[in-house]
Amino acid sequence: MWIYFYLAHLLGDFIVHSDRLVQERHDQPLVDLGKHLAVHTILMAVASIVALEIFPSFSLSGLLMLAQAIVLISICHFIIDYGKIKLDMVFNKTIGQALLFIMDQMLHLLVILFTFYCIFEPPAFLDIIGKTFAEKAAATACIFVLATYGAGHFLEILLREFAPNYKLQEGIYRLSDEKIEVKTKHENSGKKEVEITTIKTEQFFHDSPAKIGQLIGMLERTLIVIFMMMDMPQGLAFLAALKTLTRFKQFEHKQFAEYYLIGTLSSAIIGILLGIIAAKIW
């Protein structure tokens, strides 16, 4: 049953929570956390209603235990998020921010598991994946939310430091490169003359908006998870070739090529790992 609460948490953290509220978090942390907590509470209440529909034999005492779980999880959620805001100011490097993101999500999951472990006694409530179709569907939905929005947010943090600083103006991007050519000339007297030339190149691109790039990454990881669930790993080669063709010209620039390679490999690793978990669910 806990899987419905975890799905509610992921929906509240990555889909319902808007970018505007994230920007306001550091300006008015308590106000933003209050709104964020209200969204999570509503979603957990919906998760409870779903659980009651699936388990019609649930008694009044079971309903009270669910209400107790919502209160405890909400309090812990507030404490974790408030602590993360404070730590964001200390660990402002890329690695620190990435680790904070992972720790934050792990703590939320552990809180949900621990709450259900303490409140509910029957082992059925503690089944990690779930035995019913509805529980497996909820677990699969969690995988897809993590593969799309969750992984996208994590990669945005992780790749921030590696991103090439090539933005010239809104909608127009510039990629610069520099190569050194060494030419050796042989004169009639037998003397060698070495000529060193530095060649600088610049190219301008009308690139896609950032949201389009994020959407492409989300679709890529979604397809990776689907391929892994269908036991079709050969589909990964098709995705890699398709994605490479769209950026082929920009690979001439070392900085962009390195950034693209790190991002693609990181995204693929996350998608494959989540795909393996999704395949195990069914």
Render pLDDT for 198-220 as a digit per residue (tens, 0 to 9): 666 555 554 554 567 788 889 99
- Please state whether the predicted TM-score (pTM) of the whole model is above 0.85: no
pLDDT along the chain (282 residues), means of 10: 91 77 62 85 90 70 84 94 87 87 94 86 51 86 95 89 56 56 68 68 53 82 93 83 66 68 88 93 84
Closest by CA to 31, choosing from 66, 82, 72, is 82
DSSP string, 58-127: --HHHHHHHHHHHHHHHHHHHHHHHHHHHHHTT--SHHHHHHHHHHHHHHHHHHHHHHHHHH--SGGGG-
Question: Which conformational region is residue 5 in: left (phi greater than 0), alpha (psi within -120 to 50 degrees), or beta?
Answer: alpha
Residues 6+ apart with CB under 8 A from 184: 192, 193, 194, 195
Phi, psi of 22 (to 5 degrees): -65, -40
Beta bridge partners of 197: 181
For residue 31, give every residue at least 6 positions away whose Cβ sits within 8 Å of its Cβ, in sequence order, or none. 24
- In this predicted model, what pLDDT tens digit does every residue of 216-237 receive, in sequence order? 889 999 999 999 999 888 888 8
